[in-house]
Amino acid sequence: MASPEPGNAGDSSTYNLSSGMEDGSVGSGPGTNKTCPVHISDEEEAKRSFRKGIARHNDYVKISVPESKVNHLPTEWWKTVIAFFYAAFNLVLTTVVITVVHERVPPKETSPPLPDKFFDYIDRVKWAFTVTEINGMVLVAIWLIQLFFFKYKSIACRRFFFLIGTLYLYRCVTMYVTTLPVPGMHMNCAPKLQGDTQAKFQRVLQLISGAGLSITNSHLLCGDFLYSGHTVMLTLTYLFIKEYSPKSFWWYHLMCWLLSAVGVLCILVAHEHYTVDVVVAYFITSRLFWWYHTMANLQTLKCSPNNYLTNTWWNPLFNFFERNVQTSVPCSYSWPITWASTCLKNPCKKYSMVQSSREE
Amino acid sequence: MKKVEAWSAEDVFDWLSKEGMPEYITVLRQTDGPALLSLTTADFKVPPLSRVSPDGGEQLLERIEILRIETHIEDHKNGHANGHIGGIPNGTSKPQRNGTLGRKDFEPEMIRIPIPTVEPPRPSFPTEWGKTGIAFIYAIICFVTTTVVISVVHERVPPKEHTPPLPDKFFDLFDRREWAFSICEINGMLLVGLWLIQWILLKHRSIIGRRFFFIVGTLYLYRCITMYITTLPVPGMHFKCSPKLLGNWEAQMRRIMKMIAGGGLSITGSHTMCGDYLYSGHTVMLTLTFLFIKEYSPRRFWCYHWFCLALSAFGIFCILLAHDHYTVDVVVAYFITTRLFWWYHTMANKQSLKETSQSNLLSRVWWYRLFQYFEENVNGTVPRNYQLPLSVRAFHWNRGVKYSRLDTQ
């Protein structure tokens, strides 16, 4: 830019001249970005003269950016559906593995709970696990509501499903290879069904329908200790909520962080998981989240030769999902259903208040 | 730009030709600036303007309007910061701005926008042995902490009669082989030896050494945490754990010293303590040395890489075959080691990841400041150059031909 000051003055003066045009172009469709006030579309005949006049002015230089017809953030709902099936498959696999592992858990009489530092200091509190599950459900609900109003839901959803699926897949592996004993004598494990496949199948269904929560009485199986699925959900929903909401909502982020932290702490207070389960779950969740999002946000990483972030096994899946996403997803919200805005009295005005896209 | 009010007939003539309205030139030959500004639609209804104007003067009047606005903006800019259209301050002069050529008339010439040329930083690899020293001390602290924690945890391991080994899928499939753990340790020592030799021959050994110490230190620090918080029982009944020294600090200190001296290997007889299962330190060393060897050796040495991979993989397999660690210990160790190694090296290789920004989520790890401290002066990917260490070179006499093949810096 030649100098910042004339640019600003020019922009604001042009903005005043073309303020009527601004509202008109914003309402032109859900997919268009906010029109830059300096670069007016050619259909605006009446304003073209202003533009030419300004352009001829000494200090105003029109740097014509070629209008890119490519949408940098395509919705591609079919990829989101594939991600959903991936997550669903992994969740079902997890329930099957839990059922299998349950048969192998040593009975608590022969294999007492392992020594755990947290359990030495804090005794068990009975209602703590309910707090965890309520916090988890609240966080998931908040995230779903936030997703509902998010402009780029398909992309955010896709990422959420992929990460959840991969984390539960890892969990299958760690649960299956080594079976930890129950963390406390209070745990009531359902009786073992040696070889009764029909009953096992029913158990799997029961677990899926109750989402593995003890509130819904579907958390009767033991052995799924390393690592903690509750921690994964609490941490992941918090990370997503924080990442896809405006940075200025610090009170909102704090509230969600408190929900998440209290939930995780209550898992330990309830003696439902060993401390190492929670620590490993937090570690794997946060690292995977940051890894994925850095790769998705920094386009230069995709073509860089010395990028070891692509050495993971899920890199082809990542490329498939994020190939056409060319910028980092901006934090913008809008009414999900377009007719909702027309029902309001002054649609353009309200729309411009809600549509506050902030390029991060 | 001269104000329109100050335009002479000549300026008007120039402007009309530029605007592409030559039809008015003849008629408005004697018009100067103020007269131009005072033109109205009424003037275009009567000759001579009505004869030459195709559209009743609409276009010309529009252009004049723009001129007027531009003058207002121009004057307004001179006096005010915000650009809202206000009155015209009299007698304000236009200050020179960066990049605009001073011009008297309204010629849209080329405008020079000086863009400060940012040269890409040239790759630089300063040695900075001080930082390597700090990394070394960090690694030593982590090793010592690990030994202390092992000693503490040993007191808490439940006796194997009381808590039998946990069910493990690998142990179900493969029975224990006694010789396996020695193989694992021999492989480990071979790999560490190979890595040491390779490191000595590297040109940028200070930077690479720093990285190795930092990553090893951090991995052992994580290991301290996971070992300490939950204690797993011994994986097999074959284990001989040394007796517990309840509260006898002196004996515990001696035990710690013995372990450090022996490197924690059972070949040296210092691996007598139990409880350090999650996660496996042997796997960490095997994996990490292989990753470093592969990273800092020429690409075309594929034979060498395959050999080291075989050593590493077989070593890890032997840990499990010896029933010395649970499978989950080995899996978690492999996962954490590889992820940390790739994370660190990707950040070190890309300049854009060395700054915290909204899109760089890799910077949210707790060790990011330490990483920045170590890698701030390293620009670019460290090349795989080799150079004999100084002490050997000093004794090199008259070996001109051989010397020139290596890097002589």
Secondary structure string (H, E, C) spanning A43-54: CCHHHHHHHHHH
Closest CA to A227 of A261, A277, A264, A274: A277
Q: Measured between alpha carbons, how far is B250 from A347 in angstroms, rounded to an integer? A: 79
Grouping H, G, I as helix, E, B as strand and the rest as coil, residue B124 is: strand
Which residues of chain B neighbour A294 with C-beta distances below 8 Å? Answer: 353, 359-362
Residue B331, min C-alpha distance to chain A (Å): 8
The pLDDT assigned to B107 comes to 58
The pLDDT assigned to A139 comes to 94
Is there a contact between B381 and A306 if contact means CB atoms under 8 Å apart?
A: yes
| Helices of type H across B94-204 | 129-154, 169-173, 180-201
Lowest mean pLDDT among B38-42, B295-299, B351-355, B398-402: B398-402
Which residues of chain B neighbour A100 with C-beta distances below 8 Å? Answer: none
Is there a contact between A174 and B111 if contact means CB atoms under 8 Å apart?
A: no
Is there a contact between B332 and A57 if contact means CB atoms under 8 Å apart?
A: no
Average pLDDT over residues B291-318: 92
The pLDDT assigned to A347 comes to 43
Average pLDDT over residues A8-13: 42
- Tell whether the model's pLDDT for residue B102 goes beyond 50: no
Residue A342, min C-alpha distance to chain B (Å): 33
- With beta carbons less than 8 A apart as the criterion, state whether A226 and A280 touch: yes
Average pLDDT over residues B188-197: 93
More confident residue, B173 or B355: B173
- Tell whether the model's pLDDT for residue A65 goes beyond 80: no
Position A8 confidence tier, pLDDT thresholds 50, 70, 90: very low
Maximum mean pLDDT: which of A69-73, A141-145, B372-376: A141-145
The pLDDT assigned to B391 comes to 60
Question: DSSP assignment of B34-81, as one string?
Answer: HHHHT--GGGGGSTTHHHH-SSTTHHHHHHHHHHHHHHHHHHHHHH-S
Which residues of chain A neighbour B335 with C-beta distances below 8 Å? Answer: 284
More confident residue, B50 or B104: B50
Lowest mean pLDDT among A116-120, A273-277, A328-332, B1-5: B1-5
- Tell whether the model's pLDDT for residue B308 goes beyond 50: yes
| Helices of type H across chain A | 4-17, 19-26, 45-56, 77-102, 117-121, 128-149, 153-177, 197-210, 229-243, 250-269, 275-297, 299-303, 315-322, 338-342, 347-354
Residue A177, min C-alpha distance to chain B (Å): 5
The pTM for the full model equals 0.71
Nearest chain A residue to B81, by CA: A9
Nearest chain A residue to B358, by CA: A360
- Write the pLDDT tens digit of every residue in A138-178: 999 999 999 888 888 889 999 999 999 999 999 999 999 98
- Name the residue facing A53 among B70, B100, B381 (closest C-beta): B70
- Write the pLDDT tens digit of every residue in B226-252: 999 988 888 888 888 888 877 778 888
The pLDDT assigned to B305 comes to 93
- What is the pLDDT of chain A when averaged over all its residues? 78
Q: How many CB pairs under 8 A join A and B?
A: 193
Is residue B168 part of the annotated active site? The answer reads no
Is residue A273 part of the annotated active site? The answer reads yes
Is residue A293 part of the annotated active site? The answer reads no
More confident residue, A341 or A75: A75
The pLDDT assigned to B133 comes to 93
Name beta bridge partners: A84.
none
Catalytic residue among B154, B282, B323, B324, which?
B282
- Name the residue facing B83 among A10, A111, A309 (closest C-beta): A10
| A89: its two tokens | 């498959």
Lowest mean pLDDT among A103-112, A273-282, B190-199: A103-112
Instruction: Specify whether the backbone of A358 is left (phi greater than 0), alpha (psi in -120 to 50) or beta.
Output: beta
| A228: its two tokens | 């903690």
Maximum mean pLDDT: which of A147-156, A261-270, A324-333, B260-269: A261-270
- Tell whether the model's pLDDT for residue B306 goes beyond 90: yes
Is there a contact between B166 and A181 if contact means CB atoms under 8 Å apart?
A: yes
Nearest chain A residue to B231, by CA: A115
Average pLDDT over residues B87-106: 46
Nearest chain A residue to B325, by CA: A178
- Write the pLDDT tens digit of every residue in A315-338: 999 989 888 888 888 888 887 665
More confident residue, A27 or A241: A241
- Tell whether the model's pLDDT for residue B95 goes beyond 90: no
The pLDDT assigned to B214 comes to 95
The pLDDT assigned to A349 comes to 45
Nearest chain B residue to A292, by CA: B361
Average pLDDT over residues B302-317: 93
Is there a contact between B163 and A307 if contact means CB atoms under 8 Å apart?
A: no
Is there a contact between A111 and B163 if contact means CB atoms under 8 Å apart?
A: yes
Residue A205, min C-alpha distance to chain B (Å): 25
Residue A114, min C-alpha distance to chain B (Å): 6
- What is the pLDDT of chain B when averaged over all its residues? 81
The pLDDT assigned to B315 comes to 94
Q: Measured between alpha carbons, how far is B338 from B330 in angstroms, rounded to an integer? A: 12
The pLDDT assigned to A46 comes to 52
The pLDDT assigned to A218 comes to 77
Q: Measured between alpha carbons, how far is B322 from B330 in angstroms, rounded to an integer? A: 13
Lowest mean pLDDT among B163-177, B200-214, B250-264: B250-264
Residue B389: φ, ψ to 5°: -65, 155
More confident residue, B20 or A258: A258
Which residues of chain B neighbour A54 with C-beta distances below 8 Å? Answer: 70
Average pLDDT over residues B137-151: 92
Whether this model's ipTM surpasses 0.90 comes out as no
Burial of A22 (0-12, 13-18, 19+ CB in 10 A): middle
Cβ–Cβ contacts within 10 Å for residue B128, how many? 16
- Name the residue facing A360 among B97, B353, B358 (closest C-beta): B358
- Write the pLDDT tens digit of every residue in A206-234: 888 887 787 777 777 888 888 899 999 99
- Name the residue facing B100 among A11, A12, A59 (closest C-beta): A59
